[in-house]
């Protein structure tokens, strides 16, 4: 009986470990487990990505629909997008696509997430691999990330697929770090900088204006001087 109990316990532990190691769900709310998702913070018109197959472009990663996917055979695949403010991201949720179980090896391997606050200079936040996912369909995987910096711009870089000529995922969701709300502090700080160039052109007409009045002044003096000369000549002619 003791042997049976030990075997049963071993099986239970093995199943538990497997469940924890490959925690995933076909339901986003279950996989997110109360975390704050930044789906509605994505500026949809900011999305720029490597072309995908027909109707399978990078914009499909941000539509909160696992039935639409980003599917491409162009590598390295790259996607950049902007949020409506700067947020600290400490996890992402990636969802597999409609036929990963049939076409195995299409998960990204590796995948690299970068952050930026100017859309030009990017910092590597995390590098993941195909081991974060499985060859299953329509399944959300939460991947924790070690990051404490708020970024407003993000870039996903996928050098290759795990074991196929085609890479595909259906959703790429940023997860905000609990208690980190830095967006309001970042956004106002950027606005004055953007206004500075607008003021510079306004000063140019002011520089030109004195030159015009100087010309008018010189012209006035010249006219007065000419009038004086003419007057002098006229008076001299009258005196003769
Ligand atoms: Ca989608």
Å from CA of 210 to ligand 1 middle:
60
Å from CA of 99 to ligand 1 middle:
13
Q: Tell me whether strands 171-176 and 140-144 are parallel, antiparallel or unpaired.
A: unpaired
Å from CA of 54 to ligand 1 middle:
14
**156: in domain:** yes
Identify which has the larger pLDDT, 232 or 180.
180
Å from CA of 58 to ligand 1 middle:
9
**84: in domain:** yes
Q: What is the predicted pLDDT for the residue at 208?
A: 38
Q: Which domain holds residue 153?
A: 22-190
The enclosing H or E element of 194 equals helix 183-239
| CB neighbour class for 161 (10 Å; exposed up to 12, middle 13-18, buried from 19) | buried
**Any idea what the CATH number is for the domain that residue 58 is in?**
2.60.120.260
Q: How many independent structural domains does the chain possess? A: 1
The enclosing H or E element of 238 equals helix 183-239
Return the closest-CA partner of residue 71 out of 88, 83, 87, 54: 54
Å from CA of 79 to ligand 1 middle:
14
Query: Model-level pTM?
Result: 0.69
Å from CA of 26 to ligand 1 middle:
13
Q: What is the mean pLDDT of residues 76-85?
A: 98
Å from CA of 124 to ligand 1 middle:
24
| CB neighbour class for 109 (10 Å; exposed up to 12, middle 13-18, buried from 19) | buried
| CB neighbour class for 47 (10 Å; exposed up to 12, middle 13-18, buried from 19) | middle
Å from CA of 200 to ligand 1 middle:
44
**221: in domain:** no
**Minimum mean pLDDT among 87-101, 111-125, 184-198: which range?**
184-198
**128: in domain:** yes
The CA–CA distances, whole Å, from 13 to 3, 17, 22 equal 15, 6, 14
**167: in domain:** yes
Q: What is the predicted pLDDT for the residue at 162?
A: 98
**153: in domain:** yes
Q: What is the mean pLDDT of residues 216-220?
A: 42
**234: in domain:** no
Å from CA of 186 to ligand 1 middle:
29
């Amino acid at each position: 009986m003791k042997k049976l109990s030990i075997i049963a316990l071993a099986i239970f532990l093995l199943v538990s470990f497997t469940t924890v190691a490959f925690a995933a769900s076909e339901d986003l709310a279950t996989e997110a487990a109360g975390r704050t998702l930044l789906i509605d913070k994505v500026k949809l018109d900011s999305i720029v990505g490597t072309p995908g197959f027909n109707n399978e472009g990078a914009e499909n990663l941000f539509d909160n629909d696992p039935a639409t996917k980003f599917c491409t055979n162009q590598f390295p695949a790259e996607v950049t997008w902007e949020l409506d403010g700067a947020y600290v991201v400490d996890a992402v949720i990636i969802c597999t696509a409609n036929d990963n179980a049939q076409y195995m090896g299409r998960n990204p391997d590796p995948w690299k997430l970068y952050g930026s606050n100017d859309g030009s200079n990017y910092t590597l936040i995390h590098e993941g691999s195909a081991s974060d996912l499985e060859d299953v369909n329509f399944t959300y995987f939460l991947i924790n990330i070690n990051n404490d910096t708020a970024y407003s711009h993000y870039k996903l870089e996928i050098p290759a697929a795990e074991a196929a000529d085609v890479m595909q995922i259906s959703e790429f969701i940023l997860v905000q770090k609990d208690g980190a709300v830095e967006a309001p502090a970042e956004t106002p700080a950027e606005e004055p900088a953007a206004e500075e160039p607008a003021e510079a052109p306004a000063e140019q007409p002011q520089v030109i204006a004195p030159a015009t009045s100087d010309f008018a002044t010189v012209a006035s003096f010249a006219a007065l001087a000419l009038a004086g000369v003419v007057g002098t000549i006229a008076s001299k002619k009258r005196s003769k």
